Amino acid sequence: MPLATINGIQLNYQVKGSGDLVVLIMGTGSPGRVWDLHQVPALLDAGYRVCTFDNRGIAPTDECAGGIVIEDMVADTAALIEHLGGGPAYVVGTSLGARIAQELALTRPELVRKAVFLAAHGRRDALQKALSEGERELDRKGITLPSSYRAAITAVLNLSPTSMVDQMAAQDWLDIFAFSKSETSPGIRAQQNLDDFGDRLSAYGRITVPCLAVGFADDRLVPAHLAAEVAKAIPGAQYVELPDCGHYGYLERPDAVNSAVLAFLKGE
């Protein structure tokens, strides 16, 4: 991925393919390369030009450990689209990336042709707030959970029970989570602090670009009803709820997610 000065920071991004531009925005703590597993190949096969990038907070993009606000992340994405030719672009985000895409559609509609919000949400519920505060307290106290237990908790919170029925597949997921979890970097910690925000649903009533909100039926971190609320708040927005998907639905059932995204982008 090339590094470029975007919105005053060093931002790491990658562009593949040709055709209409699709910008993919990843969620909290994850690099843009996660999209390369399933979504980038599907979009390339469909004839799109695809951009992935590491949000501020994720090295080698500047970590901005002194603090991150959502407005900066929205401005990063807007500046990246301008850097790549000015748009309008198709924009797809998941979780925190969905929030960035939602705010971008609201504040910079001239840059957005259509927007897709995976695990969309315009507010947080009580469970989300409790989980976020618990993570911050563990971090403040320097508590590191045993890797096997942390992997199990990650699986419970992010995967559908359907993904855990096959015991070999379940063990593969647990191994991935156990080996991939590293110490929380200052940049990721700054991203996690973005979890504390108010109710944005009334503001989303001013979004004018075509939007699709996708809820994952078994999502414990961002329950599907929150995604449905986003679609209801945006005039003319569509809503799709995918079964047998947890928060990582784009990894669990990539074909279903890709089908929903591509159908919307193509206007089908």
SS (H, E, C) 219-244: CCCCCHHHHHHHHHHCCCCEEEEECC
Rounded to two decimals, the pTM is 0.95
Number of separate domains in the chain: 1
Active site residue: 54, 72, 76, 219, which one?
Answer: 219
For residue 268, is pLDDT > 80? Answer: no
State the average pLDDT over residues 245-264: 98
Dig out the tokens for 189 from the structure: 């910690």
Residue 170 located in a structural domain? no
CATH code of the domain in which 226 resides: 3.40.50.1820
Residue 164 located in a structural domain? no
For residue 152, is pLDDT > 80? Answer: yes
DSSP state of 28: T
State the average pLDDT over residues 54-64: 94
Residue 243 domain boundaries:
3-126+186-265
Q: Tell me the average pLDDT of the chain.
A: 94
CA dihedral over 132, 158, 257, 59, signed as positive or negative: positive
- pLDDT at 81 (0 to 100): 97
Active site residue: 54, 62, 95, 121, which one?
Answer: 95
Of the pLDDT bands very low, low, confident and very high (cuts 50, 70, 90), residue 2 is confident
Residue 180 located in a structural domain? no
Residue 174 located in a structural domain? no
- As a residue count, the chain comes to 268
Residue 223 located in a structural domain? yes
Cβ proximity of 144 and 121 under 8 Å: no
For residue 191, is pLDDT > 90? Answer: no
- pLDDT at 182 (0 to 100): 62
Residue 136 located in a structural domain? no
Three-class secondary structure assignment of 150-211? HHHHHHHHHCCHHHHCCHHHHHHHHHHHHHHCCCCCHHHHHHHHHHCCCCCHHHHCCCCCCE
* 247 catalytic residue (yes or no): yes
Active site residue: 62, 121, 163, 247, which one?
Answer: 247
Of the pLDDT bands very low, low, confident and very high (cuts 50, 70, 90), residue 181 is low
* 95 catalytic residue (yes or no): yes
DSSP state of 96: H
Cross-strand pairs, 204: none
